[in-house]
A and B are shown apart, each in its own frame.
Chain A
Amino acid sequence: MASNQLTKASGGFQRRKVVDRVMTGIAYAFTAFALVALVWVIAYVMSRGIQVWSLSFFTETTALFGDGGGIYNAMIGTAWIVLLAVLIGVPVGVMAGIYLADFGDNRLGDFIRFTADTMAGIPSIVVGLFIYALLILIMGWNAFAGACALAILMLPVIARTTEGIIRLVPGEIREASLALGLPQWKTMFRVVLPTAAAGIITGVFLAVARAAGETAPLIFTMLGSNFTNTNPLEGAMSAVSLYVYQASSSPYEAVQNAAWGAALVLLIFVLTLNFIARAIALRQKA
């Protein structure tokens, strides 16, 4: 069929060349569109955010009225939930990845792999509802629950990255270790995982970057607060992403400005993590 069309078209070689040029141009234009969107968003957030950055912006607590205040308590909140989410999500995710790589070559493994992939597509707001029903109804508003929601969102990413990296570790390394008489678990934790560490860390950085910007599951777990709360197990707590959301609907111009400042903090954090992950991945390849 393809060759038929070709012979038919070969009469108008000039026309075919023009079509080819036009299509190439469209591909360039679409790529340019994506890059323009990227630059537009980042540049605008930077130009607006940098204007409200000052020492007091990082030492004062948030306010959703008047002069907008700072984001000190929100940064503490984000630090807490990211830390807790990593502490919960990384061990569970890595172990699940180990399961998939070491014991997952059967139908149950295929099923769990498929579940992990579809789990990555569960909307974060639904995970928020789940955590609300599971923890908030019992414990009341708290940051730990928010961290649990973020950990669930990180799990499939870390599990699948870990599995992929472990499978890349050459079989000879593993066989050498087993031949020396090391049991399977020592081989995994002493030989295979250290070899795969850089790749797993890359996955963790990307998962953290995603979790740090998440907002939806925090709305009805941490709730947000204008006061400094350092106890993640009790009481509402603010987070940078949560503050951006709440400030975005404020009628006060100063609060809207503060939202841009907070958005810039978030953006720089997330982009830096992505760059570091990228750098580790590249160095590993070289």
Chain B
Amino acid sequence: MFSILSALAQRIDLLKQVRRGNTGDVIYKVLAYLFGLALLGIVVAIIWELWVQSAFARQEFGISFLWSTSFDPVQAQFGALQFIQGTLVTAVVAVSLAAPLGIGIAAFLVEIAPRRVNAVVGFLVEMLAAIPSVVYGLWGIFVLAPFLRDYVAPWLTATLGWTPMFSGSFSGYSVFTASLVLTIMILPTAAAITRNVLQAVPKEQREGMLALGATRWEMFSQAVLPYAKGGVIGAMALALGRAAGETMAVTIIIGNARRIFTSMFEQGATIASVIAGNFTDADSGAYVSSLFLLGLILFAMTFTINVLARLLIKATSSGPTG
């Protein structure tokens, strides 16, 4: 332990500074390093606690926890597959809807809108991200769900009702409603980061294309978007991570049915929603431990997505790819 500390101290020239009588700066440096390392420490501690608390479930159910669909507190049998399904389906549906919308909004802000409009509309779109998740949940279940039931679901049943995806009847609480609310919630993330990425595309890229006689759409689709491709994909990956980890709105809306669903109109559950909805009811060690294991899985999923997204954004902001 001491050798590590002294090696660290030497590396940041602490002793030399103490000898020079610069004690204030030494304390400053040590404190700054400690707080910087604290960020690292918190992430490590989160992983550690999730790992330790889920130990019972990991030993009891093993790797088959991932593809088991049982969720029976009485028999103390738990699995994760239906929640992984719920998380992936809602997040992927939300991102595939939010991606075109977000790119469209970013294109409007960067390529079409005058600067003043850009500032105001950009701020308003970001306001969508400021609205608390729980308010979205309330709105989703009492406003959007009845709206979908009256106007959208009948039309979907009529046109796509023959596919398993939209079969069955629609009753407010559903995977479908949850996915749409998630779409609105991640829209500002998708739009704002895409806007930043598009703004970073050099002017020459646009001017060259326009000088060739291209229309604005041709310029955007052939010179701007390919150039920003990596960053835009990164933005969508960040939005995906957001959607996967989103808890309150989904918990209120999705119905928390702890089984595999086949239709978007059915009720379901995500990893986050099952933890939020059941944690205070969990009355056995196996139950609590299983919820922690679900938390660990969710952490691993969002962490992987986020790291990949950051790497993509980083890679593209440092140079052209298209």
B245 interface neighbour in A99, A116, A125, A188, Cβ under 8 Å: A125
Dominant SS among interface residues on chain B? helix
Q: How far is the CB of B24 from chain A (nearest CB, A)?
A: 5
Is B9 located at the chain interface by the 8 A CB criterion?
Answer: no
Is A133 located at the chain interface by the 8 A CB criterion?
Answer: yes
A26-34, A64-72, A167-175, A193-201 - the one binding chain B? A26-34
B31 to A35, Cβ gap below 8 A?
Answer: no
A10 CB contacts on chain B under 8 angstroms: 213
Is B82 located at the chain interface by the 8 A CB criterion?
Answer: no
B121 to A31, Cβ gap below 8 A?
Answer: yes
B36 to A99, Cβ gap below 8 A?
Answer: yes
Is A104 located at the chain interface by the 8 A CB criterion?
Answer: yes
Q: How far is the CB of A88 from chain B (nearest CB, A)?
A: 11
Q: How far is the CB of B208 from chain A (nearest CB, A)?
A: 9
A114 CB contacts on chain B under 8 angstroms: 307, 310
A222 to B134, CA, bound (A): 16
Q: How far is the CB of A181 from chain B (nearest CB, A)?
A: 12
A237 to B128, CA, bound (A): 29
Question: Which residue of the partner chain A has the closest CB to B188?
Answer: A34
B39 to A112, Cβ gap below 8 A?
Answer: yes
B35 to A92, Cβ gap below 8 A?
Answer: yes
A51-59, A79-87, A209-217, A226-234 - the one binding chain B? A209-217
Q: How far is the CB of A156 from chain B (nearest CB, A)?
A: 7
B222 to A2, Cβ gap below 8 A?
Answer: yes
A185 to B24, CA, bound (A): 7
Q: How far is the CB of B275 from chain A (nearest CB, A)?
A: 5
A115 CB contacts on chain B under 8 angstroms: 39-40, 43
Is A37 located at the chain interface by the 8 A CB criterion?
Answer: yes
A26 to B253, CA, bound (A): 30
Question: Which residue of the partner chain A has the closest CB to B132?
Answer: A213
Complex interface bits, A177-195 against B, C-beta within 8 A gives 1, otherwise 0: 0000001111010000000
A30 to B24, CA, bound (A): 55
Is A161 located at the chain interface by the 8 A CB criterion?
Answer: no
Q: How far is the CB of A269 from chain B (nearest CB, A)?
A: 9
A188 to B35, CA, bound (A): 15
B212 CB contacts on chain A under 8 angstroms: 2-3, 6
Complex interface bits, B218-237 against A, C-beta within 8 A gives 1, otherwise 0: 10111100000000000000
Question: Which residue of the partner chain B has the closest CB to A120?
Answer: B306
B63-71, B72-80, B101-109, B163-171 - the one binding chain A? B101-109
Is A41 located at the chain interface by the 8 A CB criterion?
Answer: yes
Complex interface bits, A5-46 against B, C-beta within 8 A gives 1, otherwise 0: 110011000001101100110111111011101101110110
Number of interface residues of B (CB under 8 A): 95
A28 to B215, CA, bound (A): 17
Question: Which residue of the partner chain A has the closest CB to B303?
Answer: A118
Is B160 located at the chain interface by the 8 A CB criterion?
Answer: no
Q: How far is the CB of B43 from chain A (nearest CB, A)?
A: 6
List residues of B (2-36) whose CB comes within 8 Å of A's CBs.
Answer: 12, 22, 24-25, 27-29, 31-33, 35-36
A259 CB contacts on chain B under 8 angstroms: 138
B130 to A109, Cβ gap below 8 A?
Answer: no
A249 CB contacts on chain B under 8 angstroms: 252
A267 CB contacts on chain B under 8 angstroms: 131-132, 135
Complex interface bits, A97-121 against B, C-beta within 8 A gives 1, otherwise 0: 0111011100011011011111101
Q: How far is the CB of A125 from chain B (nearest CB, A)?
A: 4
A183 to B22, Cβ gap below 8 A?
Answer: yes
A122 to B302, Cβ gap below 8 A?
Answer: yes
B299 to A122, Cβ gap below 8 A?
Answer: yes
A20 interface neighbour in B137, B218, B275, Cβ under 8 Å: B218
Q: How far is the CB of A71 from chain B (nearest CB, A)?
A: 13
A260 CB contacts on chain B under 8 angstroms: 138
Question: Which residue of the partner chain B has the closest CB to A95?
Answer: B35
Is B182 located at the chain interface by the 8 A CB criterion?
Answer: no
Is B193 located at the chain interface by the 8 A CB criterion?
Answer: no
B137 interface neighbour in A118, A219, A245, Cβ under 8 Å: A245
A–B pairs, 16, beta carbons within 8 Å: A23-B217, A98-B32, A102-B32, A112-B37, A118-B307, A121-B238, A123-B247, A129-B53, A130-B46, A130-B49, A132-B279, A134-B45, A155-B39, A220-B280, A259-B138, A274-B130
